[in-house]
């Protein structure tokens, strides 16, 4: 019973995605093409985030801590 | 939140009109949707041009490919790439009288709406929320139908002549006297087609050297008539009296563009109820402005005659004004009287002038006799002259239905445009995929609605338009409301955040609208 409700909820979410991106009115081959392109772009975004965000966060943290931590040293 | 207008006592009861603002997220997502569809439109056009895909829309012939292109503007692009995909919600053939319930012929399409085939089945008893049947006179049984059948057997169906030649029947004279009595004007004239009434008579009233001030959202017939007349046209913002007064002041002060001579005539074109917004014109203010600046008023009551006012006499009675203040009262019989055609009412000299100078009277065939009889019977019923109280009951039922339906939809959380008392109810959809989805889902649940998209409305403000009728009983409305709520939850249409745009109502002196800035 619960599984049916969960499945219905996910189907409703998929239906909202179809309506918002107007895939609801596209023909099946157009829909597959749009889905493929969207999934590819999202995968590339996620991969880039996974590879680069920790490095950037670490560098930013070092920059700011150097700026605030290094102030007493620079005035003396 | 109701905004009560108390402009120096011009309004006798509250004027509640609201147009809720588009939520920002919804607007962004609508543009995203249109962007995706435009990209796919370009892709399909590319495939069609390079013959990778079969081209099923209209194109020029091979020999004409080097001429000026015919189908490259945005309207045609929209037509073949967006409209075609959701085309099955329009032009649905019906096969019964369009009363409260109607029979729709079922059709399917196997090539994505380029061609349709009929399955042979008929969807029976679809609740009709799209027909302009405000008072419920569209019937195939009853006094109206019997009287029309009798006239049909006496006069036949065709008139075979124009009004000025041999097409002036005694029925037409009877109808015109009745219409003049109904409206409270001196004289009236009727025409066979409502659209032609506007487009053919405005050129007879104004010409070069005159000024037409027309509302932003006027109907195509008014726009066409204004353009055909050759007068100068200036547009004022929808229902905005400050904009209208500014235009009037400029016109009187500066006169005609080059020569600075005074304008021969200034004509203000407004409608009683605007069918796409559901808003009612601010008639007391328009009449006050007209009297102050000595111009003429042309009121198109296509949707408001029969639907507004305590006894159905239209927007003039709704505001409690004098019909003689409106110079040209125009209306149609298509909406509330269950017939076809239009009329113009006014002073006797004006109507006598129109009898000789109107293009529609000289060239167009006059109204068919059974249609005339339908109007005579329904108008007498509405006025109460046939001895029953059916007319009064219908008008009251329509007002109750309007108030109930609008209140329930607002409570559910939909964005509804327009005035509280107008029987035209636009429900906002915004996103292009939801236009097609709403039409199909409602038909699956046996309710027929009219959805409206781009050329008739601004591109992001697509809507579904419900037309209420006195023939709808409370049970029918409750069924319809339940289904609308279900579809609204399914498609996520309940956008309203109950934040209304405040109307520009400031208490002003009765006749002057002094503004420090524009």
The per-residue pLDDT for range B253-312, each reduced to its tens digit, is 999 999 999 999 999 999 999 989 999 999 999 999 999 999 999 999 999 999 999 999
Do the domain assignments include residue A57? yes
Over range B335-363, report the average pLDDT: 93
Q: CB A22 to CB B37 under 8 A? A: yes
pLDDT at A72: 55
Do the domain assignments include residue A74? no
Give the pairing of strands B279-280 and B342-346: unpaired
Q: Which residues contact B107 (CB under 8 A, 6 or more apart)?
A: B88, B92, B93, B116, B117, B118, B119
Which chain B residue's Cα is nearest to A37? B36
Do the domain assignments include residue A11? yes
Q: Is the pLDDT of residue B158 over 60?
A: yes
Tell me how far apart the alpha carbons of residues B497 and B494 are, in angstroms, rounded to a whole number: 9
pLDDT at A75: 54
Distances B492 to B90, B136, B290, B484 between C-alpha atoms, Å: 22, 32, 45, 11
CATH classification of the domain holding B331: 3.40.640.10
Q: Is the pLDDT of residue A76 over 80?
A: no
Over range B214-241, report the average pLDDT: 94
Domain count within chain A: 1
pLDDT digits (tens, 9 = 90+) for A43-67: 999 999 999 999 999 999 999 998 8
The H or E element containing residue B316 is helix B315-318
In which band, very low, low, confident or very high, does the pLDDT at B514 lie, cut at 50, 70 and 90? very low
DSSP E strands, B287-446: 296-300, 328-332, 342-346, 418-419, 424-428
User: B299 with B356, same domain?
Assistant: yes
User: B189 with B337, same domain?
Assistant: yes
Tell me how far apart the alpha carbons of residues B240 and B233 are, in angstroms, rounded to a whole number: 17
Contacts 24+ apart (CB under 8 A), B48-56: B56/B111, B56/B114
Do the domain assignments include residue A73? no
pLDDT at B512: 41
Do the domain assignments include residue B4? no
* B37 CB within 8 Å of a chain A CB: yes
User: B157 with B193, same domain?
Assistant: yes
Do the domain assignments include residue B6? no
pLDDT at B377: 93
SS3 of residue B421 by DSSP: coil
Helix H, strand E, coil C: the string for B68-101 is: CCCCCCHHHHHHHHHHHHHHHHCCCCECCCCCCE
User: B277 with B346, same domain?
Assistant: yes
Do the domain assignments include residue B518? no
Q: Is the pLDDT of residue B191 over 70?
A: yes
**Which chain B residues touch A27 with a CB distance below 8 Å?**
112
Chain A 43-62, CB below 8 Å of chain B: which residues?
A: none
Which chain B residue's Cα is nearest to A15? B491
Neighbours of B153 (CB within 10 A): 9
Q: CB B492 to CB A24 under 8 A? A: no
Do the domain assignments include residue A22? yes
User: B396 with B488, same domain?
Assistant: yes
* B436 CB within 8 Å of a chain A CB: yes
* A11 CB within 8 Å of a chain B CB: no
Q: Which of B40, B433, B492 sits opposite A24 (nearest CB)?
A: B433
Q: In terms of Cα–Cα distance, which of B159, B184, B189 is closest to B173? A: B189
User: B427 with B379, same domain?
Assistant: no
pLDDT at B6: 52
Chain-wide mean pLDDT for chain B?
A: 90
Domain end among B383, B416, B451: B383
DSSP E strands, B316-361: 328-332, 342-346
The H or E element containing residue B172 is helix B170-183
In which band, very low, low, confident or very high, does the pLDDT at B3 lie, cut at 50, 70 and 90? very low
Domain end among B357, B383, B409: B383
Do the domain assignments include residue A14? yes
Q: Domain range holding A45?
A: 3-68
**Which chain B residues touch A19 with a CB distance below 8 Å?**
431, 433-434, 437, 491-492
Do residues B89 and B465 make contact, with C-beta atoms less than 8 angstroms apart? Answer: no
Q: CB A25 to CB B431 under 8 A? A: no
Tell me how far apart the alpha carbons of residues B203 and B223 are, in angstroms, rounded to a whole number: 11
**Which chain A residues touch B86 with a CB distance below 8 Å?**
25
Q: In terms of Cα–Cα distance, which of A72, A23, A1 is closest to B36? A: A23
In which band, very low, low, confident or very high, does the pLDDT at A31 lie, cut at 50, 70 and 90? very high
* B80 CB within 8 Å of a chain A CB: no
**Which chain B residues touch A20 with a CB distance below 8 Å?**
29, 32-33, 431, 433
Q: How far is B16 from chain A (nearest CA, A)?
A: 33
CA A62 to chain CA centroid, Å, is 25
Q: How far is A22 from chain B (nearest CA, A)?
A: 5
User: B215 with B340, same domain?
Assistant: yes
* A29 CB within 8 Å of a chain B CB: no
User: B222 with B280, same domain?
Assistant: yes
Which chain B residue's Cα is nearest to A8? B490
Q: Which residues contact B340 (CB under 8 A, 6 or more apart)?
A: B192, B193, B194, B333, B334, B367, B371
pLDDT digits (tens, 9 = 90+) for B486-501: 999 999 999 888 755 5
Q: Is the pLDDT of residue B508 over 50?
A: no
Do the domain assignments include residue B137? no
pTM: 0.88
In which band, very low, low, confident or very high, does the pLDDT at A6 lie, cut at 50, 70 and 90? very high
Domain count within chain B: 2
User: B370 with B265, same domain?
Assistant: yes
Which chain A residue's Cα is nearest to B111? A27
Q: Which of B36, B436, B490 sits opposite A21 (nearest CB)?
A: B36
Q: CB A20 to CB B433 under 8 A? A: yes
Q: How far is B106 from chain A (nearest CA, A)?
A: 20
- Poorest-pLDDT segment among B179-183, B248-252, B335-339: B335-339
Q: Which of A12, A15, A20 sits opposite B33 (nearest CB)?
A: A20
Kindly state the DSSP code that residue B53 receives in the 8-state scheme.
S
Q: Domain range holding B244?
A: 143-383
Do the domain assignments include residue B136? no
In which band, very low, low, confident or very high, does the pLDDT at B469 lie, cut at 50, 70 and 90? very high
Do the domain assignments include residue A46? yes
Over range B443-457, report the average pLDDT: 92
Do residues B263 and B256 make contact, with C-beta atoms less than 8 angstroms apart? Answer: yes
SS3 of residue B7 by DSSP: coil
pLDDT at B511: 41
Which chain B residue's Cα is nearest to A12? B490
Do residues B140 and B338 make contact, with C-beta atoms less than 8 angstroms apart? Answer: no
Q: By percentage, how much of chain B surpasses pLDDT 70?
A: 95
Tell me how far apart the alpha carbons of residues B289 and B267 are, in angstroms, rounded to a whole number: 12
In which band, very low, low, confident or very high, does the pLDDT at A70 lie, cut at 50, 70 and 90? low
Do the domain assignments include residue B9? no
**Which chain B residues touch A16 with a CB distance below 8 Å?**
492
Do the domain assignments include residue B86? yes
Over range B3-19, report the average pLDDT: 71
User: B372 with B445, same domain?
Assistant: no
pLDDT at B96: 92
Q: Which of B36, B490, B492 sits opposite A22 (nearest CB)?
A: B36
Q: How far is A9 from chain B (nearest CA, A)?
A: 11
* B114 CB within 8 Å of a chain A CB: no
Do the domain assignments include residue A76? no
User: B244 with B300, same domain?
Assistant: yes
Q: CB A21 to CB B33 under 8 A? A: yes
pLDDT at B11: 83
DSSP-assigned beta bridge partners for residue B332: B342
User: B275 with B207, same domain?
Assistant: yes
Q: Which of A12, A25, A30 sits opposite B433 (nearest CB)?
A: A25
DSSP E strands, B249-348: 266-271, 273-274, 279-280, 296-300, 328-332, 342-346
* A76 CB within 8 Å of a chain B CB: no
Q: Is the pLDDT of residue B7 over 60?
A: no
Domain end among B350, B383, B416: B383
* B494 CB within 8 Å of a chain A CB: no
Q: Residue B280 — φ and ψ, nearest 5°?
A: -105, 140
């Amino acid at each position: 019973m619960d599984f049916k409700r969960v499945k219905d909820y996910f189907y409703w979410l998929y239906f909202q995605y179809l309506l918002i991106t107007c895939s609801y009115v596209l023909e099946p081959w157009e829909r597959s093409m749009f889905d493929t392109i969207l999934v590819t772009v999202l995968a590339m975004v996620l991969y880039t985030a996974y590879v680069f965000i920790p490095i950037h966060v670490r560098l930013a943290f070092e920059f700011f801590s150097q700026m605030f931590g290094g102030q007493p040293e620079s005035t003396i | 939140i109701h905004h009560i207008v108390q402009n120096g006592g011009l309004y006798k009861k509250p004027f509640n009109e609201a147009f809720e603002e588009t939520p920002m997220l919804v607007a962004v997502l609508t543009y995203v949707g249109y962007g995706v569809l435009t990209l796919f439109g370009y892709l399909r056009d590319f495939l069609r041009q390079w013959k990778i895909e079969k081209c099923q829309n209209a194109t020029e012939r091979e020999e004409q490919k080097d001429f000026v292109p015919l189908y490259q503007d945005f309207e045609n692009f929209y037509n073949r790439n967006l409209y075609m995909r959701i085309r099955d919600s329009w032009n649905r053939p019906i096969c019964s009288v369009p009363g409260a319930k109607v029979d729709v012929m079922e059709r399917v399409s196997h090539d994505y709406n380029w061609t349709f085939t009929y399955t042979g089945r008929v969807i029976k008893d679809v609740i009709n929320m799209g027909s302009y049947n405000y008072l419920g006179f569209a019937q195939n049984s009853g006094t109206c139908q019997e009287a029309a059948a009798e006239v049909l057997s006496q006069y036949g169906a065709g008139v075979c002549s124009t009004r000025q030649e041999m097409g002036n029947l005694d029925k037409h004279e009877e109808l015109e006297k009745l219409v003049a009595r109904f409206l409270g004007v001196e004289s009236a004239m009727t025409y066979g087609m409502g659209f032609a009434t506007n487009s053919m008579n405005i050129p007879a009233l104004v010409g070069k050297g005159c000024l037409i001030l027309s509302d932003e959202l006027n109907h195509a017939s008014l726009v066409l008539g204004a353009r055909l007349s050759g007068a100068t046209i200036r547009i004022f913002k929808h229902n905005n009296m400050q904009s209208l007064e500014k235009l009037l002041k400029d016109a009187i002060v500066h006169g005609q563009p080059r020569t600075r001579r005074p304008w021969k005539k200034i004509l203000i074109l407004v409608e009683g109820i605007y069918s796409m917004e559901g808003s009612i014109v601010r008639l007391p203010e328009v009449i006050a402005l007209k009297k102050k600046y000595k111009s003429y008023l042309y009121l198109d009551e296509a949707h408001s005659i029969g639907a507004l006012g305590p006894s159905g006499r239209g927007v003039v009675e709704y505001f409690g004004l004098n019909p003689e203040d409106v110079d040209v009262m125009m209306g149609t019989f298509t909406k509330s009287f269950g017939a076809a055609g239009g009329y113009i009412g006014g002073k006797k000299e004006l109507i006598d002038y129109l009898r000789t100078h109107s293009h529609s009277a000289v060239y167009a065939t006059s109204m068919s006799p059974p249609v005339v009889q339908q109007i005579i019977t329904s108008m007498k019923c509405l006025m109460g002259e046939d001895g029953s109280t059916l007319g009064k009951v219908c008008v009251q039922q329509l007002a109750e239905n309007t108030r109930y339906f609008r209140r329930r939809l607002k409570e559910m959380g939909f964005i509804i445009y327009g005035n509280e008392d107008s029987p035209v109810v636009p429900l906002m959809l915004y996103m292009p995929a939801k236009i097609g989805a709403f039409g199909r889902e409602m038909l699956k649940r046996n309710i027929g609605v009219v959805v409206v998209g781009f050329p008739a409305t601004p591109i992001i403000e697509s809507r579904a338009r419900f037309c209420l009728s006195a023939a709808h009983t409370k049970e029918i409305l409750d069924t319809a409301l339940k289904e609308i709520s279900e579809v609204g939850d399914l498609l996520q249409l309940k956008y309203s955040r109950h934040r209304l745009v405040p109307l520009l109502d400031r208490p002003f002196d009765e006749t002057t609208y002094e503004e420090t800035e524009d």
